[in-house]
Amino acid sequence: MTRMTSTTPSEPASTPPAPPVPLAALLARRDLGLRLLAGSGDAPLHWVHTSEMADPYPYLLGGELLMTAGVLLTDPAHYVARVVEAGAAALGFGVTPVYDTVPAELVEACARQGLPLVEVPPKTPFTAVARALWRLMAEARLHELRRVTEAQQSLATAAARPSPVPAVLGALASRLGGRAVLFGSDGTESAAAGREVPAEAARALRKLVGVLGPHPGGPASAGGDGGGLRLAAYALGGGDGLSLGVATERRDPGDHTIVGVAVVLLSLLTAPHRGADATVRDGALVRLLLGAAPARVVGGLGAGPWTVVHARGGDGTPFAAASLAAALGTPLVDTSDGGAEADGSRRDDTPVTVRLLLPASAPVTEQPGWTLGVGAPAEAEELAAADAQAARALRRAEATRTPLVRHRPGGIAALVDPAEAASHARSLLAPLTEPLRETLRTWLSLHGSWDRTATAMDIHRNTVRQRITRCAALLDRDLDDPDVRMELWFALSAG
């Protein structure tokens, strides 16, 4: 059975991120004395959360090891169903002072739902479990950073060898423990390295490569599964239709960064030295320097409208900006920023800032290791305004620790017809329960004040924070964005 997705593979967003820790790693810590009563120890843990609420659902984001002593546990079956619905990875139950043993009904409910259940002995504080998980995650992140750094060095060394393309493919396959294939524009294998894969996986990988550009709307990368392997395909930036396919048994958090470096190197190694597109870009730059209007110059780069993207981050390698540009499918990239000194060197404590110009039809997606701000589509004469929009969006993204923020003009405020506004409001606010809506309405009316909202609703300020965080997650909106606040306020009024 083959499953494919023709979009950019979803990868954790950092360089690389802290990988989740399997529950088995915590169970192996003898000092904690944890005991697995139900479910599998393979469950990946992203963080620990402690709650004694009768229904913890509103306060969970997914992936947690939820810790509880069962203070308000009255209906184990319902409690477990809500925890599973919220996406928690596992449940940790502390015996004493409420229960001397883990209730049998809770064990049965977890077994039925497939939720891992861990017994936490009286001598182990919940904070000790949380601290152990953070340490394990830090160790895993350090290991992944070292692996990525060593892989980058290996790829760079391979690119300097007499036959660089096969050497880079071999280094990539070795580092990922799989197979790396260079495909020609007609979909045939041009070069390959690594161990052989099943025929089904080879066919699936070739099919996956076929969904990439250059046809309109074609993605720059794609991912899927086939023949029991994890598959990924990347279009190279040389403009001649070459693609890189990768097949591995697993996909670790740093793999996307490693493959990104290989894509940049292979794009450079296989591209012609001077293509016609480069000549056109150089000519446009000369005309601009000689005083031509930007609106006339940009026509030589392709038809508008355009999207301006500001990005900050990277993995610290010289290929970071080029890798980002290749992933977004544009050669129009500016890497000059405030982190560069007069002599061209960089201050180590300043992150790389990149500006890119893309056709408005090109999709802009989250990129591992980067924070992106995206302006609204603009014609040539509006590019300066779009550049300012992208800069503001990047600042909002960094302030909210969001991988990608887009400039959003007013939405529901522009709806004149009341019936149309009400319909839009019902659709927009559908994910929110009535308590969440009321909390959001009060919070917006009081200009985002936690304390005043808590007083007005007679609830604790932490409850306000948790509910507003839940609203942001369910709506997938940046509540620090004034445009979003305005739209939600009109929606709450219209609904």
The total number of residues shown for the chain amounts to: 495
Residues 112 and 87 in one domain: yes
Report d(CA 314, CA 264) in Å as an integer: 14
> Which single residue is written with the structure tokens 């606010």?
429
Q: Residues 90, 39: contact at Cβ < 8 Å?
A: yes
Residue 235, domain CATH: 3.30.450.30
Residue 485, domain CATH: 1.10.10.2840
Report d(CA 337, CA 334) in Å as an integer: 8
**pLDDT averaged per 10 residues, the chain (length 495):** 40 53 94 96 93 93 94 95 95 93 96 97 95 91 86 86 86 93 86 91 89 64 87 79 89 84 84 55 60 62 79 71 77 65 42 83 86 90 86 85 82 52 84 91 90 89 92 90 87 78
Q: What is the pLDDT of residue 335?
A: 76
Give the CA distances from residue 478 to residues 11, 86, 368, 434, 489, in Å, rounded to whole numbers and listed in that order: 21, 21, 20, 20, 14
Under the phi-then-psi rule, with left for phi > 0, alpha for psi from -120 to 50, and beta for the rest, what region is 448?
left
Report d(CA 267, CA 182) in Å as an integer: 11
Report d(CA 435, CA 433) in Å as an integer: 6
The pTM assigned to this predicted structure is 0.47
What residue numbers bound the domain in which 194 lies? 3-11+145-270
Q: What is the pLDDT of residue 337?
A: 57
Residues 386 and 324 in one domain: yes
Joined tokens for residue 204: 């699936």
Q: What is the pLDDT of residue 95?
A: 93
Joined tokens for residue 147: 């692996």
- Residue 263 domain-assigned? yes
- Indicate the residue type of 265: L
Residues 52 and 114 in one domain: yes
SS3 breakdown of the chain: % helix, strand, coil, rounded to 5?
45, 20, 40
CB-count exposure of residue 331 (10 Å: 0-12, 13-18, 19+): middle
Domain boundary among 270, 291, 325: 270
Residue 421 belongs to what H/E stretch?
Answer: helix 418-429
- Residue 344 domain-assigned? yes
- Residue 238 domain-assigned? yes
Report d(CA 225, CA 231) in Å as an integer: 5
Residue 57, domain CATH: 3.40.1390.20
CB-count exposure of residue 332 (10 Å: 0-12, 13-18, 19+): middle
Residues 114 and 218 in one domain: no
Domain boundary among 378, 406, 434: 406
Residues 40 and 112 in one domain: yes
Residues 262 and 167 in one domain: yes
Residues 387 and 430 in one domain: no
Residues 179 and 207 in one domain: yes
Domain boundary among 225, 254, 270: 270
Considering its fold, how many domains does the chain have in total? 4
Q: What is the pLDDT of residue 293?
A: 67
Burial 11-37 (b: 16+ CB within 10 A, else e): bbbbbbbbbbbbbebbbebeebebebb
Residues 233 and 315 in one domain: no
| φ, ψ at 303 (rounded to 5°) | -75, 140
